[in-house]
Amino acid sequence: MSQFASYPSLVNRTVLVSGGATGIGAAFVEHFARQGARVAFLDIDADGAEQLIAGLPDVDHAPRFLPCDVTDLDALGAAIAQAREAIGPIAVLVNNAANDVRHELAETTPADFDRNVAVNLRHQYFATQAVVPDMQSLGGGSVICLGSTGWMKRNAGYPMYAMAKAAVHGLVNGLARDLGKQQIRINALVPGWAITEKQERLWLDEDGKAAIEREQCLPGYLRADDLARMALFLAADDSRMCTGQDFIVDGGWA
């Protein structure tokens, strides 16, 4: 039976997760809460958030849900301020919110472009900006930005998503040195094809199953919990000298 790590440094640590109600984000919220962290999370899915919190009756600190559309920067700033009031200065930020909706180049409008950048990239920049003073006051912190291997593999069907996720790596590299001077670490957590309920429902057909079996070095499906365990490491003191890096979790996809 697998035995997974626990991190004493995460006990009572303040963690903010965007897009935390379902899927990978919900796994982040659950795993941090089970480590004893004080967690707040943002999402537009109130029903999903309720179910998530109801499934965590035994944690020391019940996660705090703050309804927020991260593409609305005023709402994002207000929600981060609410999170700060609820759990204290933010020590860990997980920039998770995203939408990999399929789209075609020929059908893309400027409004589509702006919406895609807003949900997949822009909020990561401004949420980071908002929590830096908190981390400075705490003597350091960790920012975890969700990337994707989709653009690395030249996947078809979502060019704007691929563009935005590639830019996450530039954001991490562009901030690592300046933030590092303040003991603030920033890294990209880069998932491969994580099989969440949404992925299984919409895209995991027989061809997809065959591709996973053919392309992954490790057998089985990559799950949200696998990504959450990497996030725990990047948030904990154990990763104190890790910054400006891409941490790929993809089962060794060829």
User: Cα separation of 43 and 53, whole Å?
Assistant: 13
Using alpha carbons, select from 118, 246, 92, 97 the residue that is nearest to residue 172.
Answer: 246
Report the catalytic residues. Answer: 161
Neighbouring C-beta atoms of residue 170, cutoff 10 Å: 11
CA angle (43 as vertex; 39, 46 as ends), nearest 5:
100
DSSP calls for 23-88: HHHHHHHHHHHHTT-EEEEEES-HHHHHHHHHT-TTSSSPPEEEE--TTSHHHHHHHHHHHHHHH-
What phi and psi values does residue 135 have, to the nearest 5 degrees? -65, -35
